[in-house]
Structure 1
Amino acid sequence: MSQQQNGIAVDISQIYEEVSDWHVNAGEKKVVAKRMDGRYRRLKWFGMSVWLVFFLGPYLRWNGQQAVLFDIPNRQFNFFNLTIYPQDIWMLSLTLLFFAILLAAVTSIAGRVFCGYFCFQTVWTDVYTYIETRIEGDTPQKAKKFKDRPADFHKVSRITLKHTLWLAIALLTGLSFSAWFTDAYQLWRDYFTLQASLVAWIVLAMFTVGTYIFAGFMREQVCFWLCPYARLQGVMYDQDTVLPAYDAERGEPRGKLKRGQVDDSKGSCIDCKVCVAVCPTGVDIRKGQQEGCITCGMCIDACDSIMDKTNQPRGLIRYASYKELHHNGKSLPLFKRPRVIIYGLILLMALGGVVYGYTTLSPTEFKVTHNRQPLFVRLSDGAIQNRYMLKMLNKTKQPIQVRYTVSGIDGAELHDMAEPIEIRPGHVVPIQALVRVPESQLTETALPLFFEAEVIGQPALNSRDKTVFMGPQ
C-alpha cells in the first residue's frame, strides 16, 4: 500500500516494517533520561504528588488518635471515626476489587497511565534519577564524562552525596510504611531509642534495601522483568485504546532539517532523537508500541518542542489509537466498547457494595448461635431448656454495658443473666445463655425467638438477633 505525501509516493507498509524493528533493553546500557518541561511532565509531577499522602498520612490525628491506622495486633482498621474489624473484611475486598478493575478499565482506555504517572516504582525512580542527573549530568554524554573523570575529591563527594540522598529517601520510605501500622510518633521514638520491635526493624530494612536497589539501580528493569502488570497490559489493549504513538505516515522519510528550511522530499521527523533521550525506559517510540512504554507522554512533550522550533504542527507523536493511525478511523465511544462496559458494570457493583457497607456499618455486632448438642433439655419441672452462644462485638472506642433479654415466646426467660455485662472496645465477650419455656407454650417443634442486646445509656447501639427455640415433637 502506498500514499501520496508532498508529491512523493510513500510505501506505508515498508515504513511500518522499518519502524517496528525494536528490542528490549535488558540492562546492557544505563538509561539517563533528559528532562524537558511540558504539559505531560507537569501532569507527571501532579501524579507523583499523590504519594505525599503515603509520607504525611500517618501523622494526621483525629480525636487524639492516629486518623488512619492498620492495627494488625488488635485486628482492626481505624479510619477517622470508623473502625473496621475482620467481620467487615468483605468491604475491604470490594474496595480492592474496585481499584483492580479501575486499573484494568483505565488501561483499556488509555494504556499504562498508572505506570507512567502513579506507580511507586516509576515515582521513586524518577526522584532518584532527578537527584542523579542534578549531581552527575542530565545527558548520557555528561554522565559518561563524569564517570570517566579521575576519582578526585569533587567526584567522590558528589557520588557520596547522591547515595546519601538515595539512602535517606529509602529509609524514609521504610519508616513511612511502618507508620501506617502503628502510632507514627511513637514509632520515631522507638527507632531513635532502639526500642522498636524486631518486626519493625525487619520492615525498615526490607523497604530501605528494596527501594535503594529497585529505584537506584534496577529502575526500568523492574518494569521489564519483575512487574506482572507490565506483562498483563497487552491483553487489556484493543484497537481503540489511546496510546502515545508516532505518526509514521507524516514523519517518514525522516531526515535532518535546519530552522526555517523546507524540504518537501522528507517527512516531519528530523531524526533528532530527543523523544528517545527523554524516555525513562529508553524506548524509541518511532519503532511502534512496545513493552517498555509506560505511556508517560514525555516523548510527546519532546516532539512538540521540536515541532515548534521547526515551525511544524504539533502531534507527530501524540496520544492516538491504532484505528486512527493505521486506518484513518475514529475510536469507538466508550459506551459502545464491550470491554469498557463490562469493566464499568463491575466498578458500579463494587462501588455500590462498598458504599452500602460503609453507610450501614454498625458500631456493634450481635450474633446468636443455637447449641445443637443437645437440641433441648427437659427440666424436672417440665420446662424445656435451650442453650445459646451470644457474641457481642464492641466496635466503639469506649467500653459498653450490655443487658440481654428474650422475646417472641410467652413465658420465655433467661436463666441467671440479670446483671449487665461489660465489653471493652474492640472485644467480643462470648456468653452461654440458657432459655427456659414452659412446655405448655410450645405449639410447634421450632418457634422463632428473639434476643435483645440493650446497651445501657446508649439506646442507639441496641441490637437484636433472631434464632429458634427447639422443643419436643
Structure 2
Amino acid sequence: MSDIPTSDTPTRTQASPQPGTLDDLYAESEHWQVNTGGKTIHAKRLPGRWRRIKWWAASVWLIFFLGPYLRWDGRQAVLFDIPHRQYHLFGATVLPQDFWMLSLLLLFFAILLAVATALAGRVYCGFFCFQTVWTDIFTLIEEWLEGDPRQRRALDRAPLSLHKLRIKSAKHLLWLLIGFATGWSFVAWFYGVFSLWRDFFTGQANGAVYASVALFTVGTYLLAGWLREQVCFWLCPYARIQGVMLDRTTLVPAYDLNRGEPRGRLRKEALGDATGQGDCIDCNQCVAVCPTGIDIRAGQQEGCITCALCLDACDQVMDKISRPRGLIRYASLDELEGRRVRPMLLSVRVWVYLGILVLSVLGIGYGFSTLVSIELNVLHERSPLFVELSDGSIQNKYTLKVLNKSNDDLQAQIAVSSPVPIEVRGIEHSLSMRHGEVTPMMVFIRIERAHLTGESIPIFFTAEASLADGTQATAERESAFFAPGPD
C-alpha cells in the first residue's frame, strides 16, 4: 500500500485539469505535458502485462543483430551487396533491374504502419520503434547502475565524486558498446558479417565501413542515451502526422473521465469506500512510469507513444484499493463517450489499406516467382536502320546485352531464328558472362532480297546457359529485321 497516496502521505502533484466534458479533455492542448529538454525524465519501471508484451515485441530486433550470421547455400542468407549491385535474399539474387520489388516492399511497410495507426494509434512507436527499444535498454542499464528514479535524480544533483564518476563512466561505456554493436550489425548486412570480422580489426575495410560504424555508434549513443523522448517530441516526423491517421474508433491508451473524476487522494479510514469521488486517487503513478513524462489524464497527446505502461501502473493501484481495473485502458473515443462502437474492420479506410497491402504482397510474390537467371535485351541499330550489300542482300545490325543474374560465371549460347532463311554472324562462339554483369555481343543478320516478304520481318533471339546445379536457363527476345520497301 506504500504507493497509494492518502491524506497522511505527501505526494508529488501535477497540474491536473478538471474539464467538464470529454471533448474538453481531448481537445484542449493547453493541458498537455511537453518536455522541452529542461529536465531529464527518469521513468519508474514497473512489471506487468504490458511491460512483458513490450519486451516480447522489442525482441524482434534480435533479428537485426543475429540475422547476418544466418547462412544459406554457403553464404550470408540476406546480404545487400552494394559494391557489386547484388542483393541476396536466401536463394534469390535481386539486381538493380528488379528494384521495382523494393518499391512495393517499402509501400507494404508504409501502409502497414498506416493500418496499425488507424487501428491502435502509435502502437509501432510504443512497442517496435528502434528509438523506443534502444532508449528502454539504455534506461534499464541506468537503473541497474544508478538505482530507482529517486536515486538517479539524487545522483544527478550530487557533486562530482569518485563514486559518481565510476558509476557514470560504466553507464556511458555500456551505452557506447551498444551503439558500436548497432553500427557493426548495420554494416554487416551490407558487407558480410564474417568478412567484416576479418577486415575491420585488421585495417583492411574501406573508409565507408569505419565511418558508418562510427556514425551509428555516436548516433545511437546520443539519440537513445541523451535525447531520449526529445526524439519523439521534436525529431520524429511520425509524431506529427499521426493526428490525421486517428479517428474516433482508434484504440489508444485513454483515461476514463466519467469513472475517474472527481479525483482525490484516498483517506486511510475510507480505503475501499471513498464515496463522493471518482476512482482516480491522484497517485500520479501513470505519470511516474511514462517514458515521455506526460499525464494521460489530460487526454491523447503528441507525447503519448501508446506504450501502455500507464495501464500496468493504474491497474496495480486499482488492485490495491479494490477497484475494477481499466480506469486507464485501450479504448476509443466513442467508447469513452458512451456512443455505439463501430467495429474497426467496417471502416472503409482500413479496407483500402488492407487492399493495398494485399496488392503489394502479390506483386512482390510475382516478382520473386518470375526471377530468371539470365536476361536478354536486344537493341537494333538505328543509324543506319539497314545496309544494302554489294550482292543486293540486306543486312541489319543488333547489339545483344545479356545479364547474368546468377551467382556464378556462365557460358551462354546464342541462337537466332526467323520465318525466312537468314545468315547470322557473331554467334559462332559462346558468350562468357560474369555473374551480376551485363555482357554485350554484336550480331549481324543478312537476308537475300528474294526472301524478303515485307519492310519488317520478325526475328527471334534466344540465350541459353547451363547453371551450376545442372538446370538450363533460357531467355528469349523478339526483335525485327528492317528492309527497304518496294520500288
Give TM-score scaled by structure 1 length.
0.94
**2:130 aligns to what?**
120
Single out whichever of 413-422 and 245-254 deviates more from structure 2.
Answer: 413-422
SS in 2 for 1:405: strand
How many equivalent pairs are there? 461
The 3-state SS of whatever aligns with 2:287 is helix
Superposed displacement of residue 15, structure 1: 6.8
> What is the DSSP-based 3-state SS (H/G/I as helix, E as strand, rest coil) of the residue aligned with 2:190?
coil
Provide the C-alpha distance between the structure 2 equivalents of 1:422 and 1:176, rounded to a whole number of angstroms: 36
1:85-96 alignment, distance < 5 Å: 85-96=95-106
Q: Distance in 2 between matches of 1:12 and 1:143?
A: 34
Alpha-carbon offset, residue 150 of structure 1 = 4.1
Query: 3-state SS of the aligned residue for 2:141?
Result: helix
Q: CA deviation at 1:40?
A: 1.1
Kept in 2: contact 1:279–1:299 (CA 8 A) = yes
The answer to whether 1:204 aligns with 2:213 is: yes
1:97 correspondence with 2:107:
yes
CA distance in 2, matches of 1:322, 1:331: 11
Structure 2 match to 1:465: 477
Tell whether the 8 Å contact from 1:15 to 1:252 is kept in structure 2 after alignment.
no
236, 241, 250: which one aligns with 1:232: 241
1:388 aligns with 2:398: yes
Structure 2 unaligned regions, length at least 5: 1-17
Q: Is the Cα contact below 8 Å between 1:402 and 1:421 reproduced in 2?
A: yes
Change in CA separation of 1:172 and 1:198 when aligned onto 2, cut-off 3 Å: same
SS at match of 2:340: coil
Of 433, 440, 443 in structure 2, the residue corresponding to residue 433 of structure 1 is 443
CA contact (8 A) 1:137 1:146 kept: no
CA distance in 1: counterparts of 2:186 and 2:466, whole angstroms: 40
The one-letter code of the counterpart of 1:306 is: V
> Secondary structure of 1:361's match?
coil
Q: How does 1:308-387 map to 2 (within 5 A)?
A: 308-334=319-345, 336-387=346-397
Shift of 1:403: 1.3
TM-score, reference length from structure 2: 0.91
Retained in 2: the 8 A contact 1:258–1:310?
no
Cα deviation, 1:96-129, whole Å, max 9, x if unaligned, reads 1111111011101111111111111111111001
Distance across 1 between alignment mates of 2:179 and 2:51: 24
> In the TM superposition, what is the alpha-carbon distance from 1:421 to its structure 2 partner?
1.2
Please name the residue that 2:251 is paired with: 242
CA deviation string 1:170-227 (max 9, x = no partner): 1111111111111212212322223321111111111111111100000000111111
Quote the residue 1:192 is aligned against.
201
Q: Secondary structure at the match of 1:344?
A: helix
- The answer as to whether partners of 2:42 and 2:153 remain within 8 angstroms in 1 is no
CA distance in 2, matches of 1:326, 1:227: 31
- Name the SS of the counterpart of 1:31 in structure 2: coil
Aligned to 1:284, which of 295, 308, 330? Answer: 295
Find the aligned partners of 2:479 and 2:221 in 1 and give their Cα distance: 57
Instruction: Give 2:314's aligned residue.
Output: 303
Query: What is the CA-CA distance between 1:401 and the residue it aligns to?
Result: 1.0
What's the counterpart of residue 174 of structure 2? 165
Q: Which residue of 1 aligns with 2:5?
A: none
Partner AA of 2:74 in structure 1: G
Superposition deviation, residue 427 in structure 1:
1.4
Alignment partner of 2:80: what SS? Answer: strand
Amino acid at match of 1:349: L
More off after superposition, 256-265 vs 64-73? 256-265
Q: CA deviation at 1:367?
A: 1.1
Q: In the TM superposition, what is the alpha-carbon distance from 1:12 to its structure 2 partner?
A: 6.9
Unaligned runs of 5+ residues in structure 1 are 1-10
**Could you say what secondary structure the match of 2:413 adopts?**
strand
Instruction: Measure, in 1, the Cα distance between the counterparts of 2:79 and 2:461.
Output: 34
1:13 aligns with 2:20: yes
Give yes or no for contact 1:12–1:249 (8 Å, CA) kept in 2.
Answer: no
RMSD over equivalenced CA pairs, Å: 1.7
**% identity of equivalent residues:** 51
- Which residue in 2 is equivalent to 1:26? 36
Does the Cα contact within 8 Å between 2:255 and 2:297 map onto a contact in 1? yes
What is the aligned counterpart of 2:421 among 398, 401, 411?
A: 411
Residue in structure 1 matching 2:89, options 79, 82, 88: 79
**Residues 14 and 321 from structure 1, CA distance in 2 versus in 1: closer, same or farther, beyond 3 angstroms?**
closer
In the TM superposition, residue 415 of structure 1 has moved relative to its aligned partner by 0.8
Q: CA deviation at 1:328?
A: 3.0
For the 8 Å contact 1:388–1:432, the answer to whether it is kept is yes
Paired residues of 2:115 and 2:354 also in contact (CA < 8 A):
yes
Please tell me whether residue 253 in structure 1 is matched to residue 262 in structure 2.
yes
Q: Is the 8 A contact 1:321 1:331 kept in 2?
A: no
Structure 2: distance between partners of 1:456 and 1:216:
54
Q: Is the 8 A contact 2:126 2:132 kept in 1?
A: yes
- Distance (Å, rounded) in 2 between the aligned partners of 1:207 and 1:152: 31
For 2:8, the equivalent position in structure 1 comes to: none
> Partner of 1:6 in structure 2?
none
1:326-384 CA-partner distances (Å, limit 9, x unpaired): 243213341x2121121111111111111110111111111112111111111112221
Q: Is the 8 A contact 2:315 2:327 kept in 1?
A: yes
**Match of residue 175 from structure 1:** 184
Q: Work out the CA distance in 2 between the residues paired with 1:26 and 1:45.
A: 28
**Inter-partner Cα distance in structure 2 for 1:16 and 1:234:** 16
State the AA in 1 paired with 2:134. W
In structure 1, which of residues 401, 420, 429 is the aligned counterpart of residue 411 of structure 2? 401
Q: Tell me if the contact between 2:138 and 2:175 (Cα under 8 Å) persists in the aligned partners.
A: yes
Structure 1 residue 262 corresponds to structure 2 residue 269: no
Matched, 1:147 2:159: no
Give the superposition deviation at 1:413: 2.6
